[in-house]
């Protein structure tokens, strides 16, 4: 009846549902931007927001299930709640942020001519057509291949910066 505590199964379902809604909100927030094409300063805030939103939900659910519901008649049984989809989406936000930040830093350290000759503007081409917030196992091979391609594209610019620092 009313006022009766949720069962653990129901609480887990509720927390998964809220996590999925938060992931959806983060996805919509990022999809409203051209994550790979817009200037880093224009996407930085959205990426930080998505990370904070999903990280906060992870902390809240962990605290609820490891401390607040630790004892009593409805004590949480087993490991604290963890929603793999929330973790994966947060990690993807971090990954995209780091790539965008690295490219922005490289652009600052290279002359315009160096950036052009090293095709720095093309480093994100492998991600064309990929939704960075799509973290399903079906898309993982495509994402991994795009990341490997990105790494090989960014390596010459990193090598040039290394040379400049030694000069």
Residue 3's pLDDT is what? 59
The pLDDT value given to residue 91: 96
Residue-wise DSSP of the chain: -TTPPPPHHHHHHHHHHHHHHHHHHHHHHHHTS-TTTS-HHHHHHHHHHHHHHHHHHHHHHHHIIIIITSSSTTPPPSSPP--HHHHHHHHHHHHHHHHHHHHHHHHHHS-HHHHHHTTGGGTTGGGTT--TT---TTTHHHHHHHHHHHHHHHHHHHHHHHHHHH-
pLDDT at residue 1, rounded to an integer:
54
Unique residue bearing structure tokens 């909100």:
25
pLDDT of residue 74: 74
State the average pLDDT over residues 41-69. Answer: 94
What is the pLDDT of the chain when averaged over all its residues?
A: 91
Confidence of residue 4 (pLDDT cuts 50, 70, 90): low
Q: In terms of C-beta density within 10 A (0-12 exposed, 13-18 middle, 19 or more buried), how is residue 22 classed? A: buried
Averaged pLDDT for residues 51-65: 95
pLDDT at 14: 95
pLDDT the model gives residue 7: 84
Looking at residue 146, what is its pLDDT? 97
Average pLDDT over residues 2-25: 88
| Mean local confidence (pLDDT), 122-150 | 94
């Amino acid at each position: 009846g009313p006022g009766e505590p949720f069962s653990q199964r129901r609480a887990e379902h509720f927390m998964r549902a809220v996590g999925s809604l938060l992931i959806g909100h983060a996805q919509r927030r990022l999809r409203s931007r051209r994550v790979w094409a817009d200037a880093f300063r224009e996407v930085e805030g959205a990426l930080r927001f998505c990370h904070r939103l999903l990280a906060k939900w992870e902390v809240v659910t962990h605290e609820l299930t490891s401390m607040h519901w630790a004892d009593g008649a409805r004590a949480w049984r087993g490991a604290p709640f963890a929603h793999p989809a929330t973790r994966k989406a947060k990690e993807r936000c971090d990954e995209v942020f780091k790539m965008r930040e690295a490219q922005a830093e490289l652009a600052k350290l290279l002359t315009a001519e160096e950036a052009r000759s090293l095709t720095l503007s093309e480093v994100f081409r492998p991600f064309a057509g990929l939704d960075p917030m799509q973290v399903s196992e079906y898309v993982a091979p495509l994402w991994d291949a795009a990341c490997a391609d990105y790494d090989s594209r960014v390596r010459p610019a990193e090598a040039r910066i290394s040379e400049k620092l030694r000069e």
